[in-house]
């Protein structure tokens, strides 16, 4: 039985993780940290039927004997949280997005006695979409990414969109240049991601997490689309990472590293 703690336990993703960890026969939810709900019974905030008082401080993880801690918070909080976990030798499974390359370098230097798995998207369908986009990239001349999320998401573009562009840029360097010479409304062409691939971010009430990768070449286009219509879509990936993080020294980025996707 793996003892698991959760940072951001009162958040949308954190609460879903608490439920998934509680329901899995191989994992045990032992501590929940979320400053907003400090001192409150986890059951009243999340509905998860576990007798745990939510804490302000990660010391609760040490006290409860947590071996793996899951973080779904926001970038600046996660940077502090991961520093604490690395210093205290606890494994980390991280779904928080918005990290910079410098953040990842810092994590790599800090996780020396315990391990860390960071995935911008824990949904298997999204991981496959990214994988297929990288396979398709060398056969197309143009590519753009449209990511669509709920109206509470604070970072843009999404970590999934950035990671997708990174994989596609690594698979192909040959993209046709942007033809735009007059941008009538600023930002109309989206943000420039890795490989100069354009990324467009939609924020809309009613959505969860969605992405479309558009690829084009002479006379044809290919659209790859993934929709997470419920936060439970991320849970099998989170639980896989919780169970495997102990086997992966240092920092692992991307759930694909834990799956056998072939080439």
- Tell me which residues in 60-79 interact with ligand NAP (CB under 6 A): 72-74, 77
Site string for ligand NAP, 11-40 (x = CB under 6 A): xxxx------------------xxxx----
Q: Which one among 2, 3, 10, 66 touches ligand NAP, defined by CB under 6 A?
A: 10
Catalytic residue status for 3? no
C-alpha distances (whole Å) from 35 to each of 9, 10, 53, 170 are: 9, 9, 12, 39
Please answer whether residues 96 and 74 qualify as being in contact, where contact means their C-beta atoms are separated by less than 8 angstroms.
yes
Beta carbon of residue 108, minimum distance to ligand NAP (angstroms, whole number): 19
By the rule CB under 6 A, 190 interacts with ligand NAP:
no
Beta carbon of residue 198, minimum distance to ligand NAP (angstroms, whole number): 20
Residue with the two structure tokens 């950035």: 162
From 3, 91, 149, 200, active-site residue: 149
Cα angle value 72/238/170 (rounded, 5°): 90
- Tell me which residues in 125-154 interact with ligand NAP (CB under 6 A): 153
C-alpha distances (whole Å) from 228 to each of 85, 133, 150, 239 are: 29, 17, 11, 17
Catalytic residue status for 153? yes
Report the 10 Å Cβ neighbour count for 217: 14
Site string for ligand NAP, 89-108 (x = CB under 6 A): ------xxxx----------
Residue closer to ligand NAP, measured from CB, 84 or 140: 84
Cα angle value 143/165/209 (rounded, 5°): 95
Q: Is 219 helix (H, G, I), strand (E, B) or coil?
A: coil
Residues 6+ apart with CB under 8 A from 128: 226, 261
Closest residue to ligand NAP, based on beta-carbon distance:
11
Residue closer to ligand NAP, measured from CB, 189 or 203: 203
Please answer whether residues 201 and 156 qualify as being in contact, where contact means their C-beta atoms are separated by less than 8 angstroms.
yes
Residue closer to ligand NAP, measured from CB, 2 or 93: 93
Which residues carry out catalysis?
Answer: 149, 153
Which residues here bind ligand NAP, judged by CB under 6 A?
7-8, 10-14, 33-36, 72-74, 77, 81, 95-98, 119-122, 153, 209, 234
């Amino acid at each position: 039985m793996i003892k698991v703690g959760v940072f951001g336990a009162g958040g949308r993703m954190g609460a879903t993780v608490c439920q998934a960890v509680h329901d899995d026969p191989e994992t045990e939810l032992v501590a929940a940290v979320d400053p907003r709900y400090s001192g409150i019974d986890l059951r009243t905030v999340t509905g998860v039927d576990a007798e745990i008082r939510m804490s302000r401080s990660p010391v609760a993880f040490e006290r409860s004997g947590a071996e793996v801690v899951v973080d779904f918070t926001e970038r600046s909080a996660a940077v502090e949280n991961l520093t604490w976990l690395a210093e205290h030798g606890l494994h980390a499974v991280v779904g928080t997005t918005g990290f910079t390359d410098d953040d990842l370098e810092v994590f790599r230097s800090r996780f020396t006695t315990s391990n860390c798995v960071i995935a911008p998207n824990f949904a298997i369908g999204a991981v496959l979409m990214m994988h297929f986009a990288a396979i398709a990239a060398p056969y197309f001349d143009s590519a753009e990414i449209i990511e669509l999320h709920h109206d509470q998401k604070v970072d843009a573009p999404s970590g999934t969109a950035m990671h997708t562009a990174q994989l596609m840029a690594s698979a192909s360097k040959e993209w046709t240049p942007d033809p735009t010479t007059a941008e009538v409304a600023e930002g109309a062409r989206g943000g420039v991601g890795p490989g100069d691939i354009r990324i467009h971010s939609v924020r809309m009430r009613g959505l969860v997490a969605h992405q479309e990768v558009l690829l084009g070449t002479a006379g044809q286009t290919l659209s790859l689309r993934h929709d997470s219509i419920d936060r439970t879509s991320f849970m099998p990936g989170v639980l896989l990472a919780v169970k495997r993080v102990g086997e992966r020294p240092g920092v692992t980025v991307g759930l694909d590293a834990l799956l056998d996707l072939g080439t």
